[in-house]
Amino acid sequence: MRSVIALLSALLATPVPADIVVPAHTIRPQSVIAPGDLTLRALPDVEGFDSVDDVIGLEARVALYPGRAIRPRDVGPPAMVERNQLVLLVFSRGGLEIRAEGRALDRAGRGEMIKVMNTASRNIVMGVVRPDGTVLVQ
């Protein structure tokens, strides 16, 4: 009886493999991920995506290696703004809108926070990249 209980305990303690999205080949940072870049692999107890559709179209933030799970922090929206790129800063409150030129201090995709230096005042501000590539200052 004890051996049966020990066997059941061992089986229940063993992590069950789940299908996790992994790269089919090495994906370089800043590459946009396409369907042919991905495959599913059974991995036990690993943080990652369980659907290929969740990863397609995202940009690799780090190098992704075959057989290793793609974690949510490893990918993000494709960058719309490159480091040192000139961008339009927009501050809008009520009926007032102020626009200024800025220089991006980071790379960022749509909806991401980014640091930008106002080229006129040299002040550094934080803002969110909008779909048109402008930066909305908070």
Predicted TM-score (pTM) of the model is 0.69
**Residues 6 or more apart in contact with residue 67 via CB below 8 angstroms:** 22, 23, 41
Q: Which two tokens stand for residue 123?
A: 């002040």
Pick the range with the lowest mean pLDDT from 4-13, 25-34, 38-47, 84-93. Answer: 4-13
Domains detected in the chain: 17-76 (3.90.1210.10), 79-137 (2.30.30.760)
Contact in structure between 76 and 110 (CB atoms under 8 Å): no
Nearest to 53 by CA among 65, 70, 68: 70
pLDDT digits (tens, 9 = 90+) for 45-96: 788 898 999 999 999 999 999 989 999 999 999 999 999 999 999 999 989 9
Q: Dihedral sign, CA of 61, 62, 66, 71?
A: negative
